[in-house]
A and B are shown apart, each in its own frame.
Chain A
């Protein structure tokens, strides 16, 4: 696809919340344009009645009618952005139903967002970038095999990872906590290259992802700089060998969480949340610190404990830590506290995010937190399914980047 990606906006309230410009700026920064599907008054009444959700707000009626026009092909778009006010119950119902309706009746990538007057274009950027990538780079995302000698770098908020791949095999990895963005990237690159036994000059293509993707991408002259929603989906289905058919990818990160519903390796609907650190890997890091164990020991410890023995609700990291301290002071065992912390994080992700994507098996857990056995176990119990943790799951973004960057293969 050349030219701008056209994103249809279905919304209620952004103009009056003062955030319409932020939405347009976010789209503009990834070379996309927002447009409002034009439909007649007659169509609005008809489509709204046919859809059957009898809402009172006329702007929501208009959003429903616009969604129908998109699904029925009367109006063309490359992607859909649904946005309504945070805390509006009626809008929350509509947002949810429209997302399901569009995802199950069309191939349009769709993302929804509930905004406040504080929403900025920066908050929306990763979502917009993922939407446009799915629309613009379907051919690239369809890549199933890594070719040549490529490297992927994932500059995350908590850790930086690098992977070197040759002809569909991982031959070198590097992993370090993120301190300085470029410094950490340089160090993990050296680790991965050393393990792979190759020189930097031999690498034929490089891809970067994660929060520091632009900075690191510029620094190393990356061929592909890509947000983590599409890259992680691709890495997950590649490593789990589930490139065809449906899958659900869950990534509980250091700063935010992603839940992605994938079909044939391409994301359909996704959510990205984690305003509160209580539902993130950060809380588990704090728990292990308080228990005096290394984060790698937290998972096995949690497997020995009973989550229900300790009341813990980490909706907020401060309150979560308070429960943790109280439980230890009351004599709870470190095993039970570790299990409760894992359960609490899993429960929040389940309640806050997984309801917004259609969970289809296999469910893949990826990212560093997928190595915490107790967390995977808790999530499996909540979803009543066996969770798949693919090999190299902590390197998922780097693997996805190395795989996709081989689409830009060149002899250096």
Chain B
């Protein structure tokens, strides 16, 4: 079972697909849940404190806006931890989104820089494309299993 970083990180469909094919999805839900469920924080709605943008400094310099660094504090450790990644480009907003174009650029770059297996797909716009989309994800994840 491999740890798969999913992009967009908030995509429940992508997260579900990865889990269905027997791997562990690394996405926003886990990081957010961890924070929301941690007792003692008083920083609604996401329970992210000013410490997060500081932690994000590992991934982006101080001149990069705090919102990008705060997001990187959530996603950066997942990229470090991932065995592979699935990137869906130009996804519809309803499919999932990171909320920030600059974070998107940096995340995809850092995933590629790690040199792990990456499946890069365009978001499907028709039924046929949708079927092919799921098939490619299935093949990628099955192959990962075989390699292991």
Note whether A and B form a binding pair.
yes
- Measured CB to CB, the residues of A under 8 A from B are 52-56, 86-87, 89-90, 92-93, 95-97, 114, 351-352, 355-356
Least Cβ–Cβ distance between B115 and chain A, in angstroms: 11
Contact A351 B102 (CB under 8 A): no
What's the Cα separation between A97 and B106 when bound, in Å?
A: 9
- Stretch of B12-20, B31-39, B53-61 with 4 or more beta carbons under 8 angstroms from chain A: B53-61
Least Cβ–Cβ distance between B22 and chain A, in angstroms: 28
Which of these, A52, A53, A355, contacts B61 with CB under 8 Å? A355
Contact A55 B60 (CB under 8 A): no
Contact A89 B65 (CB under 8 A): yes
Segment 45-82 of B: residues with Cβ below 8 Å from A: 54, 57-58, 60-65, 68
Contact A351 B60 (CB under 8 A): no
Cβ of B131: which chain A residues have Cβ within 8 Å of it? none
Taking the complex as formed, is B101 at the interface, i.e. its CB lies under 8 A from any CB of chain A? yes
Taking the complex as formed, is B147 at the interface, i.e. its CB lies under 8 A from any CB of chain A? no
**Main SS at interface, chain A:** helix
Q: Which 10 A-B pairs have the closest CB atoms?
A: A92-B63, A53-B109, A52-B112, A96-B61, A92-B64, A89-B102, A355-B57, A89-B65, A355-B61, A352-B62
User: Which residue, of B57, B62, B102, has the highest number of chain A Cβ atoms within 10 A?
Assistant: B62
Contact B60 A90 (CB under 8 A): no
Taking the complex as formed, is B144 at the interface, i.e. its CB lies under 8 A from any CB of chain A? no
Least Cβ–Cβ distance between A371 and chain B, in angstroms: 27
What's the Cα separation between A96 and B113 when bound, in Å?
A: 14
Contact A90 B105 (CB under 8 A): yes
What's the Cα separation between A52 and B105 when bound, in Å?
A: 9
- Measured CB to CB, the residues of B under 8 A from A are 54, 57-58, 60-65, 68, 101-102, 105-106, 108-109, 112-113
Contact A356 B61 (CB under 8 A): yes
Among residues of A, the one whose C-beta sits closest to the C-beta of B65 is A89
Cβ of B64: which chain A residues have Cβ within 8 Å of it? 89, 92-93, 96
What's the Cα separation between A114 and B61 when bound, in Å?
A: 12
Contact A89 B108 (CB under 8 A): no
What's the Cα separation between A166 and B68 when bound, in Å?
A: 53
Cβ of A96: which chain B residues have Cβ within 8 Å of it? 60-61, 64
Among residues of B, the one whose C-beta sits closest to the C-beta of A347 is B54
Contact B105 A92 (CB under 8 A): no
Contact A351 B109 (CB under 8 A): no
Among residues of B, the one whose C-beta sits closest to the C-beta of A84 is B63
Cβ of B105: which chain A residues have Cβ within 8 Å of it? 53-56, 90, 93
User: Which residue, of B61, B65, B102, B112, has the highest number of chain A Cβ atoms within 10 A?
Assistant: B61
Contact B108 A93 (CB under 8 A): no
Cβ of A355: which chain B residues have Cβ within 8 Å of it? 57-58, 61-62
Least Cβ–Cβ distance between B122 and chain A, in angstroms: 14
What's the Cα separation between A370 and B66 when bound, in Å?
A: 30
Q: List 30 A-B contacts (CB under 8 A).
A: A52-B109, A52-B112, A52-B113, A53-B105, A53-B108, A54-B105, A54-B108, A54-B109, A56-B101, A56-B105, A86-B63, A89-B64, A89-B65, A90-B105, A92-B60, A92-B61, A92-B63, A92-B64, A93-B64, A93-B105, A96-B60, A96-B64, A97-B109, A114-B63, A351-B54, A351-B57, A351-B62, A352-B62, A355-B57, A356-B61
Cβ of B65: which chain A residues have Cβ within 8 Å of it? 89
Contact A52 B108 (CB under 8 A): yes
**Given A52-B112, A52-B113, A351-B54, does the pair A93, B106 have CB atoms closer than 8 Å?**
yes
What's the Cα separation between A53 and B111 when bound, in Å?
A: 10
Cβ of A356: which chain B residues have Cβ within 8 Å of it? 61-62
Cβ of B108: which chain A residues have Cβ within 8 Å of it? 52-54
Among residues of A, the one whose C-beta sits closest to the C-beta of B112 is A52
What's the Cα separation between A90 and B60 when bound, in Å?
A: 11
Least Cβ–Cβ distance between B108 and chain A, in angstroms: 6
User: Which residue, of B62, B63, B68, B102, has the highest number of chain A Cβ atoms within 10 A?
Assistant: B63
What's the Cα separation between A175 and B57 when bound, in Å?
A: 37
Least Cβ–Cβ distance between B40 and chain A, in angstroms: 16
